[in-house]
Amino acid sequence: MYKIKMAGIYSITHIESGMIYIGMSVDIFSRWQSHYTQMKTGSHSSVDLMRLWRQTEPFEWSFSILEYVSITEHKRVTKMSGKELVSNFRRILLRKEKDWMKKYSINMALNKNNKSFS
């Protein structure tokens, strides 16, 4: 079986309240699975996200890709490879994640310690 990886910025939103968690990953689909598992087992790093999850039903949530970021394109443009490529790509994802977070009010943040929402 072939596994497709997609890097980028994603959101997990509680539809009724508008509360949102924004994250980044080099493999969004695996990260979503990880979030779901951690919320079900009570081991998620965001206490606020986990608390709201436990008070609601899974169908009340929306999981969205906010921005796709291509590591292949980044590699082509920068001519980087190996650890340098991965390190540089992660910095770009973190910067993009912070930019997306700035678009949302801190009152709507479900990230651990309101990560980067200031």
pLDDT tens string 6-31: 899 999 999 998 888 899 999 999 99
Given a contact cutoff of 8 angstroms between Cβ atoms, the answer to whether 71 and 85 are in contact is: yes
**Residue 118 reports pLDDT greater than 50:** no
pTM: 0.81
Given a contact cutoff of 8 angstroms between Cβ atoms, the answer to whether 27 and 6 are in contact is: yes
Question: Domain limits of the chain?
Answer: 8-110
pLDDT single digits (tens) 73-115? 888 888 888 899 889 999 999 889 888 888 875 555 666 555 4
Contacts 24+ apart (CB under 8 A), 86-94: 89/7, 89/26, 90/26, 93/7, 93/8, 93/9, 93/24, 93/25, 93/26, 93/69, 94/24
Q: Which residues of 21-47 are buried (b: 16+ CB within 10 A; e: fewer)?
A: bbbbbbebeebbeebbebbeeeebebe
CATH 3.40.1440.10 holds for 8-110: yes
